[in-house]
Structure 1
Amino acid sequence: MGAPAIVIASAHHGDVLADAFARYEREYDVRLVHDELSAKHTAKDLLATGHQVALFVVDTDHDQEKLYALIGGTRKVVPTARRLLVSHISRFRVDNADFRHAVAAGKVDALLLMPQGPRDEEFHGAVGEMLNEWNATVATPVVENVRIITPEKDALTRELLDYLGRVGMPAGVHHPDSEVGREVMAKCPDDVGRWPVVSSLVGWCGHCPSVRALANQLYGRPDEIDVDEVVDLVVVGAGPAGLAASVYASSEGLVTVCLEAEAIGGQAGTSSMIRNYLGFPRGISGMRLAQRARGQALRFGTRFFTGWPATGISPCTDGGHHIVHTEGGDVHTRSVLVATGVNYRRLGVESLEDLVGSGVYYGAAMAAARELAGDHIVIVGGGNSAGQAAIHAARFASKVTIAVRRPDLSATMSSYLINEIEWNPRITVRGSTRVVDGGPDDVRHLAWLDLEHVDSGERERVEARGLFLLIGAAPECSWLPEDVLRDERGFVLTGRDIPRELWHEDVPPQDLATSVPGIFAGGDIRAGSMKRVASATGEGASVVSLVHSWLESQATAAPVAPV
């Protein structure tokens, strides 16, 4: 396969754009054309010769009708490519008004001012972001940080790939008889016949029985924490709330440990593109946002331990410290933030539960969407996560159907996502619809689904190779002590929602404080939260001031003896 291509279409400013993109020619095949027909033929020729097209750069100097034909044509020919509109400074103000809706609807990924001279790093920063996202979600990794060796891509292998994608770690799958497979197995002779075998650049090589085992090898165990240390804050959960708390707490000098059961980023980390997060006008994937936040927290001193969920908390009863328990060890701490988020609810259709990992997935499963190129994918759910998953899946699948119990998406999804979905010709929304049955093909992979109208009960059987379930929010709080009160749905109560009889001198607890002093809750796990990335981030940042106040109130208590 040749180098991925960047195709530039410009009628009058080709020389300017050719100069600007010269810096990419070492790693990309840069092609310059002058009209929409040439762009289409060039893309087809590249695909026919084994190249991938990473980016289309389209100058707005084309006739508007031809310009929209070019935009639509590039999507039909290469739906996985990113699309960038560039505008000359003489017409940028007009173009910005004319094409704003095209960007908002996802017809193009960005509109940028044409470079004004050499080293226009604002322009190249945006191009770099788009190429970065394309490489993370579409391209075959050039350097594989993790190699998975297995004779078949079974459900566990797909789970490992999905996890590695969520943590931003390039990975590849290889047959044991391949050149790479033989090289890896030569290092792991004791594991022949136990699949999958995983090899990582950090030096580990061996049979990997679960995602948790992989996370432990990559990130370590909680029992590596010094047993005689009592930390200031343990953050349980590394979604947006937990990551924000980790950054702000450690930056303010608090000794902070973050425990994450699965992947850094939580549920938000599976979002292919978040377009309404403050400060990212061109959007950012959940994985990128999470990894940047983790990098910030690490820089300030937060210690992360991934792959061991919290199993309990022993609260302090005498002014001492809490103990957070995991199967890999205990962490002693003066305060705790519960930021474990929520899980997707189970569909409850037995025939489909048997196919989880073989065409049926809970969550966005971005790596699985790439494997379903050319197939029909059904996504169940009406929230933003479902919308983002549908848009991502439409880059690969020939058809995407969103099935939602409500009549439409207007009550549960952001309008910018609804607009993007309405424009995308590959996505269809079926309101008042639920999935009631499904079955496999001869190799036990999902092949068909039965869709039922919630009012009439009328059923239709459709062919489908992928089913992604993003339905509802199911809190997992069974590990918390009973003293941490929850509402009837299982979400943690905080602030004024805590029963009045537990208030101190008729004063309610702080907004993010639970019914147990020194234990706080933030993000989706908290009763009454907004279930949005930005609000969870805000709560994670806000809780740090409450932690400071709590620690100050305990400073006059008897000193804590070493553990």
Structure 2
Amino acid sequence: MGERPVILLVTDTHRATLLGEFQRYSRDYEIVPATSGHDAEKVVADLLRKGHQLALVAVEHRLPDADSLDVFRRLRPLVPTARRITLLASEDFPDAADTLRLATLDNDLDAYLVIPRGLRDEEFHTALVETLSDWGWSVAGPVVAGVELVYDRPDANVAALRDWLERTGMPSRSHRADSPEGRAIIEAAGPDAVLPLMRAFRGQFLSDATVAKAAEAMYGGHDDIPADQVADVVIVGAGPAGLAAAVYAASEGLSTIVVESEAIGGQAGSSSMIRNYLGFPRGISGMRLAQRARTQAFRFGARFYTGRPVTDIQDGPDDEPPHHHVFVRGARICARAVVVATGVAYRTLGVPALDAYLGVGVHYGAATAVAREMKGRRVAVVGGGNSAGQAAIHLAKFAAHVSIVVRRAGLADTMSEYLIREIDATVNIDVRPRSEVVGGGGDGRLEWLDLSVAGDVERVEAGGLFLLLGADPACDWLPARVRRDEAGFVQTGRDVPRELWVDGLPPASLETAVPGIFAAGDIRAGSMKRVAAATGEGATVVALVHEHLAELRAAEFRA
């Protein structure tokens, strides 16, 4: 293999300018030039023959024998995982912009950029760096690993650990126990090591590793929280709603604690690319969005604790100022206000024959950590929502073929139009409407599925099954006095039963039936179930928390 990944730069008229701009990346990437579409095909074939990995194909839009879209269509079958950027002369922008905009929706390219006309065009380079960063995370894997995982065989726990590491954005590598790397780590850990074994963030070893152990090693244990400390707000759940609440609460001076049982980012953190989130015209992965939000909240003073689920919320003693007790396994956290933002959990498939293949072909969620292992395989994605669409598009970069299996007649009722358009334009994705998975099997790992189509069962080859089946509210742990609707979603504001209103007035819009306990995001009855809507509710709820705290202070003053 080549030591450095390749950036293929296809340019003619602006060759000198673009070669100069791309020299900035020559330390970490090999910059390989080509002068035409025909030349680019020959160069790529030669690079692949020599074992090089292509990270980016950047093509000047107007070439002697083609335009950039023609070049991308020719090269995509050869290098489906390489990112594709059109380089556009400023004078060509007015005429080409609409064509290129539509091409991004059709998945013909990832971005189009205006060629710099002077020094230090950092907007141009920001776009390139973001594109290369996305490729490095989703395709190449880390050069330097902060965490290393050793296991003897893949199973559901190992799959959960790998997925958790991917969703946290922690650079990591996985090794089989009988590999040279695996044996060296086991020897360093000592004779008492039990697999799976993790060499973690500060060099410590986690024996018999689980997601809970890894999470506490990364963010600290709940036992470190002083028992007599009363936070202004405890946020339960660190998906988009919880992270937005943490950013705004901490930035406005509230003492803020965030509790998350798994990976920060929630289900959104597993999305390979969110293209319709405000302010990110080239899209952003769920992991990156969550990582940035956590860093932002942390800088304002929010404290994060992960690895243990919340089990109950109770009122504090009557002889103390009003507050709530939030219980996790083995610890109690006190808070004047609580925001419940635990989101939803994927429904299980309910096909017992496939339970044995969890982690060895069957995965709940997008499982971006194993997408690279699907190279050359036929895979299926079950689900018709945006998460399923994003997973299918990402998997199609690696898998030979992706089938989206849905019970409905199609995707239009449940998926955003931009994703449907991108799926339609991806040649190795098909949609299997009015179908469901009813069985499957294989020798040691998943090899085939049984699909029921209008009552007839068809057996199809499948090396991977990714289940994004819709979701149920993750709030069985809430006390009964926090009222929920028939589907289990938390009721707030005017949705709270009228008999629980105080003095004939409903709770605040995002407040539950219990004063001082709020709900935001997907967990809330009537929420939109979109990332942007969840972050909006997370920001909005902080204003209501301020009002509640003001009422507590006023009542304490009157007393």
TM-score, scaled to structure 2: 0.96
Secondary structure (helix, strand or coil) at the match of 2:73 reads: helix
Q: Distance in 1 between matches of 2:201 and 2:487?
A: 43
**Corresponding residue to 1:479 among 477, 480, 488:** 477
Q: Is the Cα contact below 8 Å between 2:69 and 2:108 reproduced in 1?
A: no
For the pair 1:525 / 2:523, whether they are aligned, the reply is: yes
1:478 and 1:99 map into 2 onto residues whose CA distance is 48
Identity of aligned residues (%): 51
> For residues 421 and 138 of structure 1, what CA distance do their matches in structure 2 show?
20
Note the alpha carbon deviations across 1:425-445, whole angstroms, 9 max, x for none.
Answer: 01101111111111122xx21
Q: Distance in 2 between matches of 1:206 and 1:229?
A: 30
Q: Per the alignment, in what secondary structure is the counterpart of residue 492 of structure 1?
A: coil
Cα drift, residue 317 of structure 1: 7.2
Choose the corresponding residue for 1:415, options 408, 417, 430. 417
Name the counterpart of 2:462: 464
Could you say which residue in structure 1 is the equivalent of 2:302?
302
Note closer, same or farther for the CA distance 1:212–1:12 as it changes in structure 2 (3 Å cut): same
Task: State the 1:63 CA deviation.
Answer: 6.4
1 CA distance for matches of 2:519 and 2:499? 20
Give matches, 1:387-536, under 5 Å. 387-441=389-443, 444-453=444-453, 456-536=454-534
Residues 115-136 of structure 1 deviation map (CA, whole Å, 9 limit, x = unaligned)? 1122110000000000001111
* 1:36 equivalenced with 2:37 (yes/no): yes
- Match in the other structure for 2:262: 262
Tell me which amino acid in the other structure corresponds to 1:11: D
The alpha carbon displacement at 1:243 in A equals: 0.1
Q: Which runs of 5+ in 2 are unaligned?
A: none
Q: Structure 2 matches for 1:209-228, cutoff 5 A?
A: 209-228=209-228
Aligned partners of 2:537, 2:79: CA distance in 1, in Å? Answer: 40
Write out aligned runs for 1:50-449 (5 A): 50-62=51-63, 67-192=68-193, 194-316=194-316, 318=318, 320-441=322-443, 444-449=444-449
In 2, distance between residues paired with 1:45 and 1:86?
23
Residue 9 of structure 2 aligns to a residue in which SS?
Answer: strand
Does the 8 Å contact 1:221/1:308 carry over to 2?
A: no
SS in structure 1 opposite 2:55?
A: strand
Q: How far did residue 65 of structure 1 move?
A: 5.6
Which residue matches 1:537?
Answer: 535
Q: Is the 1:383–1:412 Cα contact (8 Å) retained in structure 2?
A: yes
Q: How many residues align?
A: 554
Contact 2:154 2:359 in 1 (8 A): no
Cα deviation, 1:315-362, whole Å, max 9, x if unaligned, reads: 347462100000141100000000000001111111112221111111
SS in 2 for 1:392: helix
SS in 2 for 1:69: helix
2:198–2:209 CA contact under 8 A, matched in 1? no
Deviation at 1:408, TM superposition (A): 0.7
The whole-number CA distance in structure 2 between the counterparts of 1:358 and 1:166 is: 19
- What SS is found at the alignment partner of 2:214? helix
Superposed displacement of residue 274, structure 1: 0.3
> How far off is 1:459 after superposition?
1.9
Shift, 1:556, TM fit: 3.1
Q: TM-score, normalised by structure 1?
A: 0.96
Measured in 2, the distance between the counterparts of 1:417 and 1:344 equals 20
For residues 141-168 of structure 1, what are the alpha-carbon distances to aligned partners after superposition, in whole Å with 9 as ceiling and x for unaligned?
Answer: 1101001123444443222111101000
SS at match of 1:91: helix
Quote the RMSD (CA, aligned, Å): 1.5
CA–CA separation in structure 1 for the residues paired with 2:111 and 2:175: 36
C-alpha contact 2:36 2:66 (8 A) present in aligned 1: no
Amino acid at match of 1:516: V
Deviation (angstroms), 1:74: 2.1
Letter in 2 for 1:408: G
Distance in structure 2 (CA, Å) of the matches to 1:99 and 1:140? 29
